[in-house]
Amino acid sequence: MRKALALSLLAVFLGGCASNPADRDISGTWINQAAIDAASKGVPLREALQANGPNLEWDINTKAGQARYTNGFENVEGKVLGEQSGAWKIEIYGSSGTELKRDGKQLQQVASDNEPEQVFDHPKDAVPEGAPLGASFERALYSAYLGGGWKIVNGPGEGNTVQFQADGAVLGLPGADRYALCLAGDCASMSGGNDTMWLQLNGQGNPWIFTRQGDDMEIFQAVNRAQADEVPSFSPGKRQWTLEKQ
């Protein structure tokens, strides 16, 4: 009798754990950690993003029925329709819907006719309150891809240690105090397949083309080959810096 009661209570306990709504809820911020991990190995940034994207960050509030995501170019709003058998239906305004599933500590975006399967994780570090959508992904990427010290081995400031900080500040690089990596959109379409970054000083800046192979990075002037009445098309010009990760 006691054994049967114990087994019954155990079944109820396990059943309660398995059906715990908190284990299925997809609320919160989710970032494409797979793309960040691929980039941090030192491969071209666009290659890593294209292989694991296109979406970079989800922000979801199931209680409010709200969902939105960014692909680095546009922010897309959606509506959470509900959850059934572990799958959350998301209605995307102006386009076909999508389906999200919680798999332990990861969020899975189910493959559709328009997009491949993608996996997302909660960010390790919180962003400042009021930060725009995509800030969590951007900070995590900047830290993993460019974090640490970089020594200028050739170019202005040779011998300096450069630090690209997660908040977009850059220290030790002559002529620049802020930077931003091109993730998608116009900056990508105008770069001719090259990775680009924006460097600025006191609010004024320009695009630069860079290449990253392992612990070595080169930064080139971006030369616009288009005519004055054409959409800009940038290609690598004179090499400005060669940096080596310390």
How confident is the model over 100-117, as pLDDT tens digits? 999 999 999 999 988 999
- State the DSSP code for 36: H
Give the global pTM: 0.89
Tokens representing 82? 């509900």
Distance of CA 52 to the CA centre of its chain: 10
- What is the structure's pLDDT at 22? 60
pLDDT at residue 98 in the model: 93
Q: Residue 92 to residues 69, 78, 168: CA-CA distances in angstroms?
A: 10, 4, 31
pLDDT of the residue at 114: 85
All residue ranges of the chain with pLDDT < 50 are 5-19
Q: Which domains does the chain have, with CATH numbers?
A: 23-140 (2.40.128), 147-245 (no CATH)
Convert the pLDDT of each residue in 53-86 to its tens digit. 999 999 999 999 999 999 999 999 999 999 988 8
The H or E element containing residue 128 is: none
Query: Which pLDDT does position 23 carry in this prediction?
Result: 73
Confidence at residue 24, expressed as pLDDT on a 0 to 100 scale: 84
